[in-house]
Amino acid sequence: MDQDSHCTMERELLEAVSRITTFSTPSPPDEEQNQPKAEISCQGRKENREKDDLQDSNASLSPNSSMTTKELQEYWRSEKRQCRQVKLLFEIPSTRIVEHHLSKYVMYKIIILQTGSFDSNKSVIERRYSDFEKLHRNLLEEFREEMEDVTFPKKTLTGNFTEEIINERKLAFKDYLRLLYSMKYIRRSKKFIDFLTRLELQEAYGCLRGGHYTKALEILLEVIGLQERLTRGNPVSIVPTLCAIVVCHKDLENPASAFEYGEKALSRLRVHTSHRYYIPLLETMITLAYELGKDFLSLQEKLEEWKAKKDPIRVFTLKELAVREYIQ
């Protein structure tokens, strides 16, 4: 290769790296404050744009620089990972072996906490290998392209309960959750959120249906904090949980607490008056407001306004709706 050709290739490589570095530069601090915290903290970093930028970088290289292209792709992936601001951290500090009848499995304790400051409201859940495996299988159905670089710890024929294998999986599952959460579309997906909350919600609603309101409330209050963190882009999705908390407080004769959580739920339904929980929640809030000596006329006006616009239909009570959630 003559010197001119070598210089040309070197110049093209430097231009491509410069182009990638420009796109992966984090936003200034004042710009970060204007963006949602759960979003990627780098200015202009969008999923489609990432692919277009990479294609542009590759196009600038000469046909004889295929190895350089691979190096640039690896550089690009590294830059993307470093540039994301992860809002939640996942730790797996311990495990326990469960033996139940003919089955034996390992439960992994997962602690989920917020980054940036001391988190007194950390969430603690437990999941087994089969739960992770089901999550991975479900995500591949919808996000196969995004997960092409995501590895999942394989099952082994023997040694699944040795300390060495368990410790390896603890680290692998920690990295697995961190990587999934770093991908915007995956962390917002129902499948990922269900993995982190559904088992606890099923238990809570089972307690509610059985009349064990204290236990149901305890679990729901644990879950709601995590749900709020995971669904900031979709606040309406936690309305059923908020309403279940209202039902529990109401049946435990805590009207003030029931009204407090009812207000939170109503605020999320302000522009979603066709939501199935809207009217049952309004009716419950009117009853609670009257009991507490609060203004219930404004709530009554909203109810009458809705009824005037809609054809009369059968509406479940708030409690009837709650007991129907998470029935298999």
Which of 188, 223, 256 is the C-terminal boundary of a domain?
A: 188
CB 177 within 8 A of CB 108: no
Question: Residue 239 domain-assigned?
Answer: yes
Q: Is the same domain home to 313 and 245?
A: yes
Q: Is residue 130 part of a domain?
A: yes
216 and 294 together in one domain: yes
**Token pair for residue 19?**
């182009």
Indicate whether 250 belongs to any domain: yes
Range of the domain at 210: 198-324
Tell me: do 203 and 308 sit in the same domain.
Answer: yes
Q: Which of 89 and 65 is assigned the larger pLDDT?
A: 89
Same domain for 153 and 268: no
Residue 284 lies in a domain: yes
Check whether residue 217 and residue 318 sit in a common domain: yes
Does residue 159 fall inside a structural domain?
Answer: yes
Give the domain CATH number at 272: 1.25.40.10
pLDDT in tens, 100-132: 888 899 999 999 998 866 666 789 999 999 999
Alpha-carbon torsion 110, 113, 118, 121, what sign? negative
Q: Where are the alpha helices (DSSP H) in 182-233?
A: 184-187, 190-209, 213-230
CA–CA separation, 137 vs 103, rounded Å?
22
Q: Looking at the structure, tell me whether residues 310 and 206 fall in a common domain.
A: yes
pLDDT higher than threshold 60 for residue 18: no
pLDDT of residue 80: 53
Of 141, 166, 188, the residue that ends a domain is: 188
Q: Is 72's pLDDT higher than 90?
A: no
Does residue 3 form part of some domain?
A: no
Q: What is the pLDDT of residue 183?
A: 93
Question: Minimum mean pLDDT among 152-156, 201-205, 285-289: which range?
Answer: 152-156
Q: Full-prediction pTM beyond 0.75?
A: no
Checking if the pLDDT of 59 tops 80, the result is: no
CA dist., res. 101 & res. 59, Å (int) = 60
Q: Is residue 261 part of a domain?
A: yes
| Helices 3-23 and 66-83, packing angle to 10 deg | 20
Q: What mean pLDDT comes out for the span 20-36?
A: 41
Residue 174 inside a domain? The answer is: yes
Distances (CA, A) of 75 to 24, 41, 68, 79, 112: 11, 19, 10, 6, 30
Which of 134, 162, 188 is the C-terminal boundary of a domain? 188
Give 144-161 as a 3 state SS string: CCCCCCCCCCCCCCCCCC
Task: Give me the mean pLDDT over the 25-38 stretch.
Answer: 40
144 and 218 inside one domain: no
Q: 264-301: per-residue pLDDT in tens?
A: 999 999 889 999 999 999 999 999 999 999 999 999 99
Q: CATH number for the domain including 178?
A: 3.30.1520.10
How far apart are the two ends of the chain, measured CA to CA in Å?
Answer: 69
Residues 183 and 131 in one domain: yes
Residues 284 and 230 in one domain: yes
Residues 179, 106, single domain; the answer is: yes
Whether 318 and 209 share a structural domain: yes
- Identify which has the larger pLDDT, 23 or 115: 115
How many structural domains are present in the chain? 2
pLDDT of residue 7 exceeding 70? no
Taking the CA atoms of residue 235, residue 179, residue 47 and residue 75 in that order, the dihedral angle to the nearest 10 degrees is 160
The helix-helix angle for 278-292 and 239-251 (nearest 10°) equals 40
Is 184 in the same domain as 202?
no
